[in-house]
Structure 1
Amino acid sequence: MPPHYGSDQKQPEESRFPSAYTILFGLVIAMAALTWIIPAGQYERAPNAALSKDVPVPGSYALVEATPQGFIDVLLAPIAGFYDPSSYEANAIDVSLFVLIVGGFLGVVTATGAINTGVAQAMRKLEGREKWMIPIMMALFAAGGATYGMAEETLAFYVLLIPIMIAAGYDALTGVAIIMLGAGVGVIGSTINLFSTAIASNAAGIAFTEGMVLRFVILGLSWLAAVAFVMRYAERVRVDPTRSLVAHLQDENEAHFLQKHAPVEGETLTGMQSVILILFAATFVMMVWGVSSQGWWMAEMSALFLAASILIGTLGWLGEKAFTNAFVEGARDLLGVALVIGLARGIVIIMDQGRITDTILHTFERWITGMSEVAFINALFGIEALMSFLVPSTSGLAVLSMPIMAPLSDFAGVSRDLAVTAFQTAIGITNLVAPTYAVVVGGLAIGRVPYNIWLRFVWPLLLVLSLISMALLSAAVLL
């Protein structure tokens, strides 16, 4: 019997690492403490009609009255992170509700038996060729990241893909990496990403098509590096499961919850289960279509999964009580994910209320003024990477930083499209590990992969991706 928390049995070293909740709440406290130390300041804002937002005016930074955040503010920050009427972009309630409804949807589909049987049948057909799922899936997620900034939408795919990876002889970390790194390298090499490249280019006063060739090169090399990295780890786990970085979790009370979806050998799909799986896949296809071409966001996606749950529950003849129980149980599985997303957004709330975000940006502005071209572009890359820890929203950071950094690039002799590319690559890399980014903490929570293990796994790839980006940016400046 696995040990319960609070027992006298010694837990593995990794299990004593703080949970995501503790890490994030600690960051809220740390950020509140900084509001007592860092001077409060703000840039003047001017309306930008194209962005429908107010953007900072270069050279307008001034100190303002300090509003240090105290004990009550720290307690209110996670609540405001879910819903703050004064700061829509910092809200997490729509994403959290989406996660809960997706959990309910997956609970209903699982209750029909279609997923277990379908995974088992697929694994029998793919026997010996399972590894090719990795580059194919990572290419699809990278395409989503590069074109429309696929981020929160990926949360719907973890519970679908991780059981398949486990059934194929890999582990939960492999499934998490395929999704998070796949979509992440797409954002790093964003081409027509409306939430990153397009908004940043607009804020910089240039067309988003400028610099497209360089971004395609970054996208291709980053994708190759990420695929090779994940395939190498996955093969190592398949050959020797004890080398999995999450192998020890199988012996804890918090054993991998997706093991309950382990496929049953020998079963074949019924006609109705085949129909359910078709509807299951069609739901995800419709979600991607709606987001990429119809302007859907969390409300529409949530409604889609709710409707699909009702349709599949009806076709599967679950009955009213079985349907509601399956939906509630599925939502309960992802409740922790919904909570951690709100907690992550609370960090941004504290910074904004403490009026230190603009001060941090102004400090970076002063640091890079007067640098040479190569030094400037690499310093800009580093600054955007650091800023994205504090402002994990790609669109939010683009609107905040580009009106300041783009004019500075003119004085450094660096074209503005390179400044935009430095921005998008930097935030794309940081958002693979930032604990303030809901997509990271949410995806890891769904996969039951501790944050410290994810860092241990991904840091070599982060170094490679950073070197690729910085080398290409430097070469572009010199050409």
Structure 2
Amino acid sequence: MSTASETTETRKFRFPTAFTILFSLIILVAISTWIIPAGQYQRTFNDALEREVPVAGTYAPTDPNPQGIFDIIMAPIGGLYNPATNQANAIDVALFVLVIGGFIGVIASTGAIDSGISRAMTALRGREKWMIPVLMGLFAFGGTTYGMAEETLAFYVLLIPIMIAAGYDAVTAVAIILLGAGVGVLGSTVNAFATVIASDAAGIPFTQGMILRFVILGLCWLACVIYVMRYAERVRLDPSASFVYDRKAENEAHFLAAHQGETPEFTGLHKIVLAIFGLTFVVMIWGVLKGGWWMGEMSGLFLASSILVGLICRPGEEKFVNAFVNGARDLLGVALIIGLARGIVVVMDAGKITDTILHWAEVSVAGLSQVVFINVIYWIEVLLSFFVPSSSGLAVLSMPIMAPVADFANVGRDLVVTAYQSANGLVNLINPTFAVVMGALAIGRVPYERWLRFMWPLLVILTIIIMASLSVAAMIA
């Protein structure tokens, strides 16, 4: 019996990882260079973007350069660093990702984030209703600043027992954390793994479009808070309204018995660490706006902040180094995905089909208003997000194509970046290929189909907010 069960589990379809998807796309694009006609645009230097951009209406066929097996193997290498031209493609972005991973690892090793959120839970105990906006605000801050996702998994075992004991249910607790951090990513402002990487791939400073992203963040956060609070209150007044009511007794026995009630101490040192954490992002924004900083300077800033935290907390040289290296190791996959995804663009450029695709896009958006165009881009990114849930992977995959197309439609590239991150953030609230979603639901013992039932009205609300915000921004740009 167990053997049959194991065989069934083995044969169950598993969606491939982002690495497999992206490498498969490299192969597919290489094959396409043998089929799609080669062509090029004339280019002119754009002072605002500080780079050459294609000139609409100047596309012309050119000699083909189909890509072979050797080109496929070299594409991920060329995505990070092109040895043929001795030029860096994405190595600066990948290095920035590793350094910020080390920074987050050092911050996390101090216990400041865990103890800060636990302190908020303790302070609001007895007023659990108001824990919802406070905690969703804290998690949203993590999402909008550094793409908080996997780090949230540690908080479910802390929050679920508190919510159940207060008369709510596991869905409420899961929603507070998953939607809190998720809406922060959806409305990313300085998130290095979404906004910064996408803006870099689009050829613009990440500060362009910041106001719109704050508006989307605020409106979507407010919508999520109201939605979760209304659901939580219904469950408190009528437990049968819970989407997991049939598991009420089982969940109470499981979570309340397992809860130890231990709350980490929130010390003055933790407050200093969190202050440095927030100040680092403020300095990063100032550096980009006023100091002309980019990836190298930002990497240096996060390295300096990591060292400062180490000097203040004094964990010891070995523990500090281990925390930094482990944090960087956690994001090594993201750094590799960046090179792999940019390898697709390397093959397209070398095969001279990038401009051909841009030409097709130019023709397809001809006559579309700015409002229609930006909403079409949004839905394209929604579709792509199901197949490439990685925010950084999707950024470097889609932005080099989508951003130049915006030039033809007279839409700012920053709007395309905002459409991408909003779409990716929205999909990753329910995406079954996103490990954080499935992990959170497993910890909370919430079946996936019930999470979808809980989420679908909110998804409609968030979609309306995002599309309306993008449309208004396109009209007034």
Q: TM-score range by the shorter chain?
A: 0.5 to 0.7
In structure 2, the residue matched to 1:285 is 282
SS at match of 1:183: coil
Residue 131 of structure 1 is matched in structure 2 by: 132
Confirm or deny that 1:97 pairs with 2:95.
yes
**Bigger shift: 346-355 or 108-117?**
108-117
1:64–1:476 distance in 2 versus 1, CA, 3 Å? closer
- Work out which of the residue numbers 181, 184, 187 in structure 2 matches 1:179: 184
Contact 1:44 1:56 in 2 (8 A): yes
User: What aligned pairs does 1:125-204 form with structure 2 within 5 A after superposition?
Assistant: 125-127=123-125, 128=128, 129-133=130-134, 136=137, 154-155=146-147, 157-158=148-149, 163=154, 167-169=158-160, 170-171=173-174, 173-183=178-188
Amino acid at match of 2:376: G
**2:322 aligned with 1:325:** yes
- Whether the aligned pair in 2 keeps the contact of 1:81 and 1:345 (CA below 8 Å) is yes
Question: Once the 2 structures are TM-superposed, how far is the Cα of residue 298 of structure 1 from its aligned partner?
Answer: 2.2
Match of 2:223 in 1: 228
- Aligned mates of 2:473, 2:89 — CA distance in 1: 39
Aligned residue for 1:21? 19
Residue deviations 1:244-266 (CA, integer Å, cap 9, x gap): xxxxxxxxxxxxxxxxxx99824
CA distance in structure 1 between the aligned counterparts of 2:415 and 2:321, rounded to whole angstroms: 48
Relative to structure 1, the CA distance from residue 154 to residue 309 in structure 2 (aligned partners, 3 Å threshold; closer, same or farther) is closer
Listed as ranges, the matches of 1:36-435 within 5 Å are: 36-84=34-82, 91-127=89-125, 128=128, 129-133=130-134, 136=137, 154-155=146-147, 157-158=148-149, 163=154, 167-169=158-160, 170-171=173-174, 173-183=178-188, 224-225=219-220, 227-229=222-224, 232=227, 265-369=262-366, 378=372, 381-382=375-376, 386=380, 392=395, 400-406=404-410, 426-427=419-420, 429-430=422-423, 432=425
The TM-score with structure 2 as length reference comes to 0.64
Greater alpha carbon shift after TM alignment, 270-279 vs 56-65: 270-279
Displacement of 1:299 after TM fit? 1.8
* Equivalent position of 2:165 in the other structure: none
Unaligned runs of 5+ in 2: 161-172, 245-258, 385-392, 441-447
Instruction: Tell me the TM-score normalized by structure 1.
Output: 0.64
- The Cα of 1:181 is off from its aligned counterpart by 0.9
Judge conservation of contact 1:197–1:420 (CA < 8 Å) in 2. Answer: yes
Shift of 1:44: 1.0
Q: Would you say the 8 A contact 1:89–1:396 is kept in 2?
A: no
| SS of aligned partner of 1:366 | helix
Cα shift at 1:48: 2.9
Distance 1:90 1:233 in 2: 46
Aligned length: 402
Structure 2: distance between partners of 1:13 and 1:340: 27
SS of the residue 1:340 aligns to: helix
Matched residues in 1 for 2:231 and 2:338: separation?
Answer: 32
Q: Which residue in 2 is equivalent to 1:147?
A: none
Percent pairwise identity: 39
- Matches of 2:142 and 2:314 in 1, distance apart? 33
Residues in 1 aligned to 2:73 and 2:232: alpha-carbon distance in whole angstroms:
42
For residue 118 of structure 1, report the CA deviation from its aligned partner: 3.1
Instruction: Give the conservation status (yes or no) of the 8 Å contact 1:105–1:327.
Output: yes
Aligned 8 A contact 2:153 2:439 in 1:
no
